[in-house]
Amino acid sequence: MTTVQRPTAAFVGASWGALLIGAFAFLWGLWNAQMQLNEKGYYLTLLLYGLFAAISLQKSVRDRSEGITVTGLYFALCWVSLCAVILLLTVGLWNAALAPSEKGFYAMSFVLSLFAVVAVQKNVRDLGTGQQATGPAALADHA
């Protein structure tokens, strides 16, 4: 049985804080941006798709490392999705009529959000695993 080390409260808090700051900054930038509504929708969709793709890939990698079956097709789709969303954001920002500082702002808040959502998902899973290991079944195993 693999032992999962529970994340500290500080790491959990920092992960959630980074996710909220990154996503809120990105959304705040979109709200205040002088761009058409369809452009705002494009960037919002990329943020949501990126967060989902990052979580799916992290979960798939972790499942495989723990011996849980993940089909090759799903695993490949996770990688393709994450690469596609990063490519789409890059192309969108490259061609956007924004100042370089604005482009950097969107890129950095997006990357912060992706990194943070992976950490949050890891923490949620580790804390859930820790709760399962201390539940009634785990107590019966130690009795």
Domain ranges of the chain: 10-129
Half-sphere exposure of 28 (CA within 13 A, CB side): 8
Torsion over CA: 115, 121, 124, 129 (sign): negative
Please name the residue that has the structure tokens 């495989």.
Answer: 64
- pLDDT at residue 20 greater than cutoff 60: yes
Confidence of residue 137 (pLDDT cuts 50, 70, 90): very low
* pTM for this model (two decimals): 0.82
- pLDDT at residue 51 greater than cutoff 70: yes
125/93 Cα distance (integer angstroms):
33
- Confirm if 132 and 11 have CB atoms less than 8 A apart: no
- pLDDT at residue 25 greater than cutoff 60: yes
Average pLDDT, the chain: 88
Please name the residue that has the structure tokens 């993940």.
Answer: 70
pLDDT greater at residue 130 or residue 133: 130
Record the tokens describing residue 48, joined without a space: 């949501």
- Which string of DSSP letters, residue by residue, matches 55-75? HHHHHHHHHHHTT----HHHH
Record the tokens describing residue 125, joined without a space: 């899973």
Smallest CA-to-CA distance from 106 within 84, 123, 91, 120 is with 91
| pLDDT of res. 85 | 97
The string over 36-48, giving b where at least 16 C-beta atoms fall within 10 Å of a residue's C-beta and e elsewhere, is eeebeebbeebbe
pLDDT greater at residue 77 or residue 7: 77
